[in-house]
Structure 1
Amino acid sequence: MRDSDWNEVSLGDIIEKVSKPVDVEPHQLYRQIGIRSHGKGLFDKEPVSGASLGDKRVFWVEPDCLIVNIVFAWEMAVARTTENDIGKIASHRFPMFKPLPGKADVDFLTYLFQTPIGRHLLTLASPGGAGRNKTLGQDAFLNSVIRVPNIETQRIISRALITWDRAINVAAQLCESSRNQKTVLMGELLTGRRRLPGFSAQFSQREMHHIADVDRKSLLNNTQSNYSFRYISLADVEPGRIADLLPRTTFGEAPSRARRVLAPGDVLLSTVRPNLMGHARVTCSHADCIASTGFAVLTVKDGFSADYLFHYLFSKNMIEQINQLVTGSNYPAINSSDVQRLKIYCPEQAEQLAIAAILNNADRVIGNLEAQVSRLKSEKTGLMQQLMTGKRQIQARELAA
C-alpha cells in the first residue's frame, strides 16, 4: 500500500461512543474491570455488591470496543474489550467506543494508541497538570485527527501485531514456568528433601558467621580523597543482578555509605529493605567497586560454596528469617549481628557445588528466555512503528506463510 493510500480522518468519523447504564441492584454482585496503563490491557477487580456501589454511575461492558481510562489516558491506559468481558461493568471514567462498520478495526486502533503518535494524541486531549488533573476531554479525543489505511489493510496490520503478541506471550509463559520450576527445585534441593545421586551425608544447620565472614574489609575514614572507584548503591542491585553501568567517583566525593570493599566471589546481601531481595554475586567485573553499607558483604570460608550461599539467600527459609527480623520496624533493615546469626541449612561442600550448578543452569535458562522476551518486545515495537505510519507494507499472504 502506498503512503498516498492513507487518509486523515477524525476519530469521531470512524468510531462512536456506546454506553448501556447498569440499573444497580443493591443485593447483586458485580464484576468490575480496570485498565492498566502503557497499553497492558484490562484486569478484573474484586466483585463488588450493588449496595457498595451506591450512586456511582457504572455501565455494562460492550465487546469489541476501544475503552479508555480518562484519568490516565495520557499514560496510554487504553485497551480493547472482548466477548470475555460481557456481563462485567465499567466505571463512568472508562468510556467505550465502537468502530463504525467498514471504517475502523478495533485492534488497529488499540495498537495505534500504544505508539508515540497515539500517546501524543491522548496527551493533547488531556490538558492540565500531572495525575488526576490530566483528564481526557472526550470531545477533543473524538476530534483528534489520525492517518489510517483502508479497513482491509488495518486488519492485516492488526493480525501481524497479534501474531507478535502471541509469540511474546508464549515466551513469557515459558519464562514464568522456568521461574516456577526453579522455585520448586530450590525448595527441594536447599532443604535436603531431594538428594542428588551419590550424596547421602546429612544436612546441617549453620549460622552465617560459621560459613562466611561478614563485612571483612571496609574503607577507613583516612582513605585518600582522590581514591577512585565505581560505586554500587542499593538502587544498582536488583535480585541476582548488579547494574552494568555504575558511576565512577572518588572517596572525597562519594556518599558516606560508600565503604564496603569487594572481591570476586563475594556475595552482597541487602540489609536495607531486605524484603526487596537486592542480593547479588560479585564477579571479576566488579573488582574495582565499593558497595554501600546498605549491603552486608559475605566472603565464604573454606569448605563452603559462594554460589550455594547466594541461592540460599532467596530460599523460603531465609526470607522467613529476614521477615521476622524486620517485622514491626518503621525502617525495614537488619544489622551486621543479625546477618551473622542467620541460619543456613547446608550439606557437605561437594553437594553444595552440585546443587549450585543446577540452580546456576536454571538461572541461565531463565536469563535466555528473559532476553528472548525483551528482544521480541523490542522488535514488535519497531515493527508497530513502521506499520502504523505506513513506512512498511505487509501483505495478507505474508501472514499465511
Structure 2
Amino acid sequence: MTRELWSIDARDPRTVWAALVPALEGTGAAILPHPASPSGLPETVPANVAVVVETSGSTGRPKRVMLSAEALKASAAASEELLGGSGQWLLAVPAHYIAGINVLVRSHLAGTEPVMMKPNGFSAETFIAAAGELTAGRRFVSFVPVQLARLLESDDAVDILGTFSRILVGGQSIPATLLAAARARGLNVTTTYGSSETSGGCIWDGRALDGVHVRLVDDRIELAGPMLAEGYLNDPRRSAFSFREHDGTRWYRTDDVGEFVDGVLRVRGRADDMIISGGVKVSLAEVETAVRALPGHSEAVVVAAPHPEWGEAPVVVTTSAIDLDTLRQLVTAQLFAAAAPARVMLIDAIPLLGTGKPDRLALASLVLK
C-alpha cells in the first residue's frame, strides 16, 4: 500500500507545522519539507512513511530519508523522558531538516504550540524577540553550534538562554571551548548526535536515549532502535548498504567512527575524513577539534589536500590569521606529528549550508585552487 507524497514549502515553518500533524496521524499525505521545488519527486511513498527528509549533502549527493510516524514519535517520546517532561519549544533551525522537524513533532506530542523563527536572518536580536513569545515555564530550543556561538556574544541573549530548561546543540561537532563557555555561564546545554536516518539526535552527551542501542563495527558507529528510518526513497541499493539486520536486530551503519570512553560514546569524525599522511592514519575531525580550541578559530574547518611528500595532509581554513609553525606545534603536542597541518588558508567567511554546517565540498575545492 502507498500514500500520497506532497512537497511542502519550508520557507514558512508554519506551513510545515500545518501539514506535519495530519501526516503523523495518518489523516493526510506524507510530506517532504523543502525550501525550493524538489525535482524527481514521486507521487507516492510506502503507506507507513510520514515524512521524507532530504539530507544536507554536506559531503556528497543529498539523500531522501523515509521516516515513519512511529519512528518520529519514538524519538520524541525518548527525548521527552530525558528532558523530564514536556514543555514549549522554540524552533530556531530550518523546518526542512530533521532537527527542525523534531521540534515540531515534540511540540505536537506535548500538545503545545511552538514559537517558530523564520529560517533566514538568525541573530541575537531575532532570537530574543522570538523567545519573548514563549508562554510556558518549561522551554526548550535546539541549535547548531554556530547559532549558540553567536548568542554567547550577546549578554542579553545569554540572559534569555538562562531561562531555558534545556538547550540542545547538534548537527555537527561542537567545539569544546564553546561548550565550556556556555556551561560556564550557567546554560543547561546538551550535545546531541544522530542523523536523519535515526530521526535526529539519539545520543545525548554521549549516552543513548531509552531504547537506542549503539555498537562499533571496525570502529564504525552503528545504531539500532525504534527511531530508525525505513530507508532511502527510490534508492534500494543505498538502503540495503546502510540498513542491515543482524541476529534479528536492524542496524543503521553511520558514516562516523567512534570509541567508548568510560561508557560514553566519543565520535572521532567521519570515516571518509580519515586520511593517510606519510603512512599514518589521521582524523581530520580531531585536527579540527584541536584548532577550534584556539581563541578566534571556533569556526575553522580542516580539509585534506594532496601533498607532494606525504600523499595527503590537513589544511586549515579559517577567518583569523594564525602562525603555521605555532599551529603545527600545537597539533603535534595534542595529537602527533603526522596530524600537523601543512598550511593555513585565510578567507573572509566560511561558506555554510542552510543548516549552518560548513560547506566542506566548497572548501575542499577551494584549497585545491
Report the TM-score range of the alignment, normalised by the length of the smaller protein. under 0.3
RCO higher in structure (CA 8 A, sep ≥6): 1
Could you say which structure has the higher helix fraction?
1
Compute the TM-score of the two structures, normalised by the length of structure 1.
0.20
Compute the TM-score of the two structures, normalised by the length of structure 2.
0.21
* Structure of larger gyration radius: 1
